[in-house]
Amino acid sequence: MTSAEKQKIAVFLDITHDFLGSGYKSEREYAFEDTPLIINEVNEINDVTETSDIDTIKKIADEIRVCKNCPLYEKRTNAAPGEGVLQPLVMVIGEGPGEDEDRQGRPFVGRAGQLLDKMLESIGLSRTTNSFIANVIKCRPPFNRDPHPEETSACAHFLERQINLLKPKFLLIAGRVAAQTLLKTTQSIGSLRGKFIDFSVGDTVYPLLCTYHPAALLRNEDLKRPAWEDLKLLKSKLDM
């Protein structure tokens, strides 16, 4: 909630109090700070007044948690709808939940997620202040296999609604599966990364940047340098 919105509420409550009390308006000073809109691991909103936007984000998350549109729901422990802030600078989109994510119901919380947080931090981004993190599928495929087309198709409307609502400035796509799914291509992640691609969702065109998945960096350190080049490219756009 912005400081201006907080002040309006305080003024309204104080005027009501004065009217019901003495009948005279008292002079008061107000000092409020803006509070970031943060969706935490259980998709609750911290320190904000509910709005239709927040209700919509929660509605999407609630639908995801009980979704049975594909067979993945049968073996999940928890779906991982996504987490971060409303109106993010960057929305990070990965492949899908792994074992840690399935257990906690949160995206990118295992070793790869910890590396992702460090990668984002290196260019001034964080899921707690200015980013939102999600996946193309919300339930873990068995043994972390690649999701099947019918599974990504069943989840596609959830991700599209999240993007339409959050309206990030940039999309950062982590890994081959997410990139190929969103861009509907069979090109390798190596050929897709390193450049911005216009990506349309509804009537809005988003600058989309592909990079290697953090899990790939853990397996192959040679990929860290090109991934860092991708992050610097994103940073250069954020600073414009």
For residue 45, the model assigns a pLDDT of 36
* pLDDT of 15 over the 80 cut: no
Which residue did the predictor score with more confidence, 24 or 81? 81
pLDDT of residue 26: 53
Least confident of 30-44, 76-90, 101-115: 30-44
Of 154, 152, 168, 155, the C-alpha closest to 201 is 168
Q: Please tell me the distance from the alpha carbon of residue 211 to that of residue 192, in angstroms, as a whole number.
A: 8
Long-range (24+ apart) CB contacts under 8 A made by 99-105 are: 99/140, 99/144, 101/140, 102/76, 102/77, 102/78, 102/139, 102/140, 103/77, 103/78, 104/41, 104/78, 104/80, 105/41, 105/42, 105/65, 105/77, 105/78, 105/79, 105/80, 105/81
The pLDDT of residue 37 is above 70? no
Does residue 7 have a pLDDT over 50?
Answer: yes
The predicted model gives 102-115 an average pLDDT of: 97
Confidence at residue 190, expressed as pLDDT on a 0 to 100 scale: 97
Kindly state the DSSP code that residue 170 receives in the 8-state scheme: E
* pLDDT value of position 155: 97
Residue 114 CA to residue 205 CA, distance in Å, equals 30
* 230 pLDDT above the threshold of 70: yes
CATH code for 36-238?
A: 3.40.470.10
- Measured distance CA(79)–CA(96) in Å, rounded: 10
Every domain of the chain with CATH number 3.40.470.10 lies at 36-238
Tell me what pLDDT residue 56 has: 86
Return d(Cα 13, Cα 147) in angstroms, integer.
52
Provide the pLDDT for residue 16.
Answer: 47
DSSP assignment string, 182-209: HHT----HHHHSSSEEEEEETTEEEEEE
How far apart, in whole angstroms, are the C-alpha atoms of residue 212 and residue 45? 31
Q: Which of 53-57, 152-156, 232-236 is the least confident region?
A: 53-57
Question: In this prediction, what percent of the chain has a pLDDT beyond 90?
Answer: 76
Q: What is the pLDDT of residues 180-191, one digit of tens each?
A: 999 999 999 999
Distance CA 210, CA 196 (A): 8
